[in-house]
Amino acid sequence: MKILLVGSGGREHALAWKIAASPLTSRLVMAPGNPGMAGLGELRAVKATDVPALVDLAREIAADLVVIGPEVTVEAGLADALNQAAIPCFGPVAQAGQLESSKAFTKAFTDRHGLPTSAYAVCENADQAKAALAGFQPPYVIKADGLAAGKGVVIAEDLATAHAAIDDALGGRFGAAGARVVIEEFLQGEIGSLFALCDGKDSMVFGQAQDHKRAYDGELGPNTGGMGTYSPAPVFTAELIEQTRVRLAERAFAGIAAEGAPYKGVLFVELMATADGPKLVEFNVRFGDPECQVLMLRLESDLVPYLLACANGTLAALPEPKWRDEAAICVVLAADGYPDSPLGGSIIRGAERDFGEHVVVFHAGTSRDPDGTLRAAGGRVLNVCARGATLREARDRAYAAIDRIDWPGGFHRTDIGWRALGAP
């Protein structure tokens, strides 16, 4: 099969690694990809939001399947354009993509279709938003409505911080994504990431993980796109998985189909495990980053048949995926200054050595000089991932590999997996 994979982050490197390993893959083209992905197939310098150029590329290579990695590509409408061109696509149409691209849409959707979530208020201006805070208890959760690369969420301990977050979001920091803000009740509980595939009618659970969103150890510092993950996460009891599947994933798939946009792809359900069961924190319409990295390390089944079945409406014919009976961990190495103003250009040495069969380093924001020198070129730069018989073994392997990477311009958390293992 000829496969076009869209995106350039750690998630896409992990997907490419698994797709390239499939005996079904005869050609893998990645647009635009990153330096770490280069050895897995062909890179083409097409932006992940350039829908006409991506459709042209899919036609040029006679793609049997296009796999959408990032949410910006969903929002740009690539699946819609590929549907018009009759090219199979893993990834939802833009209307369904509103489940991620608009938090206000999603909150109203949960009301329409009976999905459990937090209380909320959608506000169009700062006066309205500040007045709405009176209906909530601290800490205040302030979210920009649209896509903000993981930076649009502030959890404010006091009113002054909440007011500043409202002014920031509505003052244009996130462009059109901050035209509205959503204020939410702070949910008490433990957070988790559950993934479900859907082919427009049938669906299945496709793995679980736990992410660490704050920048620094001890869950301190600003919110990020994710500083590390591990899987399996003990929070996911069989009961929680089943409740999440029935109350959140299946209701979402049924609801969005009833609204005229059957869902084809993966739905990332970010949930809070509360005393009343799972409550939706937010949906994402793609694999998590860096959750995808640990899922791909643990996935024993071939990924490609699942991606293709979502596109072609044949998921019911596939068995449940098989997962290695091992734990996996991913530690994100980020550039100094991330998430607000990451410093680019610093040299990274030793990241591409052979760390042994249990360790894989996925690239995210990297660039390569003509002489081969690897440099930081983004906020989250590398994902050091490891497998082990236990999570402790996986964690020890990942941190041992990090010790061998020479990158003075970056930082990482040292406590990934603490909820399962205790603080280091």
Residues at the contact surface with ligand GLY, assessed by CB under 6 A: 150, 211, 225-226, 284, 288-289, 291
How near is the Cβ of 24 to ligand GLY at its closest, in Å?
Answer: 26
Question: Which letter, b or e, does each residue of 99-136 get, where b requires 16 or more Cβ atoms within 10 Å of its Cβ?
Answer: bbbbbbbbbebbeeeebbbbebbbbeebebbbebbeeb
CB of 290 to ligand GLY, least distance (A): 6
CA dihedral (197, 250, 99, 384) positive or negative: negative
Cβ proximity of 384 and 403 under 8 Å: no
Residues facing residue 214 across a β-bridge: 223
Q: Indicate the residue among 225 and 379 with the shorter CB distance to ligand GLY.
A: 225
Minimum distance of ligand GLY from residue 26's CB (angstroms)? 30
- Contact between residue 375 and residue 349 where contact means Cβ atoms under 8 Å apart: no
Residue with the closest Cβ to ligand GLY? 226
Write down the least CB distance from residue 230 to ligand GLY, Å. Answer: 12
Closest distance of CB 60 from ligand GLY, Å: 30
| Cβ distance to ligand GLY smaller for residue 71 or 80 | 71
Closest separation in Å from C-beta 144 to ligand GLY: 14
| Identity of the residue, 81 or 307, whose beta carbon is nearer to ligand GLY in the bound complex | 307
Omega before 139 within 30 of 0, i.e. cis: yes
User: For ligand GLY, which is the closer residue by CB, 76 or 132?
Assistant: 76
Nearest to ligand GLY of 174, 355 (CB atom): 174
Residue 132: CB minimum distance to ligand GLY, A: 25
Q: Which is nearer to ligand GLY, 10 or 33 (CB)?
A: 10
